[in-house]
Structure 1
Amino acid sequence: MALNDQQIQFLQGKVKDFSNNDTPKIKNNNTHQQYKVINRTPGDPNSKDVTQAIAVAPIDSSGNVDYSQTAIIVAGTQPENPASFGNAVKAAWDPTSSLTAQTQDIRNFYQSTMKKLADKPNGYISNMSGFSQSGPAVAKVASEQKVPHITNFDDWASVGATNPYILGIVKNFPHEYLTPSDIAYLNKRARIYMASSKDLRYFDGGAGNIPYGKVMVVEGTPGLNNPIGDHDTQFSEIKGNGLNIDWYIKNNRFCSGMTYAQVVKVAKAKAKKAKSASFDPHSWFDSTDYQTYVDEYVKIYGAFASENPANQKLKEFDVDIKDIKGQLKSASGGKAISLRSDLVKSVAQKASLQAEVYVSEVKQLVDNEKTVLEGQIQAVRQQAYSLGRHLSAWEIEGLLSNFSMSSCWDTNIEATILTELAAYQEKLVVFSEKVSAAADKIVAIDKENAQLFH
């Protein structure tokens, strides 16, 4: 019951409300998904607390809580709280600072949540999420604990969080920062959503840039729409673990992850709109040449996405199969036989390609599970050391000696799965080749029979 970015985004919108009351569950009325609140910070804006956070676990349709998918969600700056606001300003503009002081709060919250999960079945923190000021701090703690899924929104002062390495000052830096190993981990595990407009975040000391993770940019609202602008966890349209690209295309807006063809389609819509009269002053100087928008796309949203060759080919097969079926409705004689042959071959080739895609996806699932297990082992070991007050380090290590990847991960089963996948793929490839060959024979025989009537 793995949580995805879309669910994390919903929970980000609930942190401030549910960190400040004793409600045991959170419900998404649109999806009917419920979450049990495992842990929370006081969340009182009138207190000295500068961090608001909740830890939740999803509840399945039978009412069972999946503690293995516990997520820590941390809110951003509390503008009404002088201490919280001051930390945000310091993180952005104090050259001797780096990560916000909130980092230790988040580290403590992680540890307190782990203690609450100690007696829960398969208790494990699988996801962490931060917004604004809490983004870099969450990234730091998640990297330390090897949390497999990190979903952040509009990280504030993230450039400053890597200050020692940007300035070349490595030794004797007095504050915490994101190290190269942290950044390497985040580049593999963190997805960060931000608006192209940057708005408030432009003043975070790094011009709103985010130097780690997979950054996904969505088209911001033009102009001064409000003091905070698009600096909001709910601004991006998310579907699953990525942007809802179809939504952005439908609304003629850009976002990261578009193919060249998709960018051109949106760019032409923008150019067409610019040619028409508009009462919106923000559009008066928009270009009427679609190529202008195409050129700007890469600078703002990143490189054009390359369509996955296998998935693109599957789409092409679907189109071909649909077209052949349509032609068969009115075809007869030799043409019908030829079309049936083409149909059989397309279906066979599609089956072979689907096997390739399936094998690739299963391998990715195995790799993901392996990473999750590594994180769980790391978390248990750290928890054992934090709770083992009456044992020496060597005694704890002795107890944990058999709790390692080599003892918990069955490499033989992994090898068996990969072997079976390869065999499955090979069988479908052979089947596809035989069916295609049979289809060719049908056409050849038909041609031979036709010659008898000449």
Structure 2
Amino acid sequence: MINEKDLNNLADEVYLVDKNKAKKDKIESWREGDIIKGGELTQGYKVLKAEDNTDNGMQAMAVAPVDDAGNVDTSQVVIAYAGTNFSDAKDRATDIQTVAGGDKQLAVNPYLETAGQAITAQDFADIISEKYPNAIITTTGHSLGEYLALMIASENQWRNVGFNGPDPYGILSADAKKWIKNNPGMLTNYRNRGDSAIGNLMGNGTGAQIKVSLEMGLDNPLTYHSLSVWKFDDNGNLIIPNNKYNKKAMRQQAERVLMTQFVASMYALKALEALFRSSGGGLSSNEQFYLDASQANSVVETASRSLKLAMANVIILYQEAIEDAEKLWNTGLTKARGSASKLSGSEIEEALSSVGTTQSTVISDPSEEYREKINEAKEIGESFDILANEIKGQIDLVVQKDQELAQQLKVRL
């Protein structure tokens, strides 16, 4: 799956689909067929389609990984949406009318109304999904772009990873809201804790928010909103500073990694399942099929190992959270006893309860939530194992029944 570092950079590059912005920056705007590479990207990407909508100010592009030989991997596609260009009145109007007001239409002046960016963003997504029906599609964006990317991912049941976006829950359909509820972890909106003026607006109805304290200190509010403040490790994963505030964010990130591994693994297995059932149960009798079967087994085993590693990390983080909750309660009691030595244990607990601090609120309730997260991780692993075993069984059955292939292999041994 395409890593978070590249998604961050693509969320930045999509701004240059805007011809006016590109001209102002004295560079070429991105167009269909262009190759985006270099800079902070870990690999190259080919622009499959780009749109600069002059009616409402929306910019979007769809890209796929490309290797040095020019081979394009359209099994993975990223749709990136541009955020607000503050020199564009239509972008500013979208922020007010759609993000703040919840109206998908856009009144560009008192006498003229047009389809807003939320509508044309979906039109763009429809074109890409129709042209690449078997692709794993991920959406990304920054600011207004992430608002649109979150909306599109929710409506189309896709993965999203973006940055500093207002939450679009208010304009989502009932079906999208139901899907969000049933598929936690598919949406990731990294928000800078200090970005209260823009990126943390409109709540967190989608549940996509991972709010991170970047320990930037006092700074210009617009700096908190910047894409460039996010840092990534050698594997392209977002680095979340290990501090007390970020404990929750680190657990949430681990959940998203698990879900990403699950989605990638399920797509791989579904593709294999289609391959082995495509002929209605008919058998191939050539060596190429045997090689395909061996490769399929390798895919299943590799996906299984990756998923189990991600699941183990999630479980460890939540087990640590349970231990932290217990330590917090015991530390609090110790300090309370030191401050009120004349009170009995029950009187101290009663005093703490009067201000909303009880053993239940500190240990029991959070620990129950953490145990539910651990169980969810285990259920994901079990779902994967069931499908993996079914496919491995199909592979074994086909190879066993292909007597002609078996005879060919015997002759050559």
| TM-score normalised by structure 1 residue count | 0.48
- Give 1:25 deviation, angstroms: 0.9
Per-residue CA deviations over 1:256-278 (Å, capped at 9, x if unaligned) read xx4xxxx3xxxxxxxxxxxxxxx
From the superposition, tell whether residues 98 and 116 of structure 1 become closer, same or farther in structure 2 (CA, over 3 Å): closer
From the superposition, tell whether residues 108 and 369 of structure 1 become closer, same or farther in structure 2 (CA, over 3 Å): same
- Give 1:230 deviation, angstroms: 1.4
CA contact (8 A) 1:220 1:230 kept: no
From the superposition, tell whether residues 198 and 143 of structure 1 become closer, same or farther in structure 2 (CA, over 3 Å): same
Q: Aligned ranges for residues 151-300 of structure 1 at < 5 Å?
A: 151-156=161-166, 158=167, 161-163=168-170, 176-177=172-173, 179-184=176-181, 187-201=184-198, 204-206=201-203, 209=204, 211-213=206-208, 215-219=210-214, 221-226=216-221, 228-239=222-233, 240=235, 242-245=237-240, 254=241, 258=242, 263=243, 294=244, 297=245
Residue 51 (structure 2) pairs with residue 41 (structure 1): yes
1:60 corresponds in structure 2 to 67
Residue 15 (structure 2) pairs with residue 4 (structure 1): no
From the superposition, tell whether residues 304 and 162 of structure 1 become closer, same or farther in structure 2 (CA, over 3 Å): closer
| TM-score normalised by structure 2 residue count | 0.52
Q: 2:268 & 2:251 partners in 1: Cα distance?
A: 27
Per-residue CA deviations over 1:7-44 (Å, capped at 9, x if unaligned) read 1111112112145333611112455621111000126x
1:302 corresponds in structure 2 to 248
Q: 1:33 & 1:139 partners in 2: Cα distance?
A: 24
What's the % identity of the aligned pairs?
20
Per-residue CA deviations over 1:350-376 (Å, capped at 9, x if unaligned) read xxxxxxxxxxx99886445357899xx
Residue 133 (structure 2) pairs with residue 110 (structure 1): no
Q: 2:250 & 2:2 partners in 1: Cα distance?
A: 28
Matched residue of 2:198: which SS? helix
- Give 1:52 deviation, angstroms: 1.0
Per-residue CA deviations over 1:180-236 (Å, capped at 9, x if unaligned) read 314225622122211110243267354xx565126251415333415x231123321
From the superposition, tell whether residues 199 and 49 of structure 1 become closer, same or farther in structure 2 (CA, over 3 Å): same
- Give 1:87 deviation, angstroms: 1.6
- Give 1:84 deviation, angstroms: 1.5
Q: 1:151 & 1:204 partners in 2: Cα distance?
A: 17
Q: 2:216 & 2:7 partners in 1: Cα distance?
A: 23
CA contact (8 A) 1:36 1:56 kept: yes
From the superposition, tell whether residues 242 and 304 of structure 1 become closer, same or farther in structure 2 (CA, over 3 Å): closer
The residue type paired with residue 106 of structure 1 is A
Residue 88 (structure 2) pairs with residue 81 (structure 1): yes
- Give 1:61 deviation, angstroms: 3.6
2:304 corresponds in structure 1 to none
- Give 1:76 deviation, angstroms: 1.0
Matched residue of 1:53: which SS? strand
Structure label with greater radius of gyration: 1
How large is the Cα RMSD of the aligned pairs?
4.0
Matched residue of 1:57: which SS? strand
1:412 corresponds in structure 2 to 390
